[in-house]
Amino acid sequence: MPIRTDCLETPIIDGARRGAGAFKMTVNLTRIYTKLGDGGETHLGDMSRVSKLHPRVEAYGTVDELNAAIGVALLAPAMPPRFGEWLARVQNDLLDVGADLSVPPAAGDGEQPADGVHAARERLRVGPDYTAWLEDACDEVNATLEPLRSFVIPGGTPAAAHLHVCRTVCRRAERRAIAVGEEGNAEVVRYLNRLSDLLFILSRAANNESDGGEHSEPLWAPGAHSAGGERTAS
């Protein structure tokens, strides 16, 4: 599955599946800068030329930002090894999500003529199995946590704090994916929604595994500002 890349920010993905749903891919990056985006436009995955403010570009750009944020979170001290394995898999899946978002649906996608030859090149698309895997991980970790009695204040351990940042970026990526509209893959939106849930659950678990002291789970105390006393001027 070769990727023809006219500019680094938008690889053009094509090819076919092999084996049990896997895609064979070859990446060819001959230059990092091409000057093709200097006018504020870029290529989508089908080679159509659009503004860099196009909803699809906004969506896969935010997914890329999320992937980078997860990369930073993986460096956090005391990140549980099991969580690190899951997040590494998520990072790879997010590249699939970006590839899906970068390619609009084409006439004939998924159709197969009577002669058995595909009418259009099969594209890499996110399917229900991506979301189901996230749900299994959510259920596994959430079963170890106490029910919430208040909203969580982002923070606690460094690992939890980084995971909260990832969660908020993921929520934004979800909103950007929704903005793609009816031509977007609905499973991408479901995946990002469930991923934000997983990131929240993992942040709680990271705090739960701390020593219970200063890094224990911080919770919202509604109206606590008025009970905090007067501010002393410095």
Rg (CA), the chain: 21
Q: What is the pLDDT of residues 55-65, one digit of tens each?
A: 899 999 999 99
How much is the average pLDDT of 140-158?
Answer: 93
Q: Where are the beta strands (DSSP E) in 92-160?
A: none
Give the domains, in start order, of the chain with CATH numbers. Answer: 1-44 (no CATH), 54-104+124-218 (1.20.1200.10)
Q: 215: which DSSP letter?
A: T
pTM above 0.85, yes or no: no
How much is the average pLDDT of 148-173?
Answer: 95
Using a pLDDT cut of 70, give the percent of the chain over it.
Answer: 71
What is the model's pLDDT at position 101? 95
Q: 20: which DSSP letter?
A: T
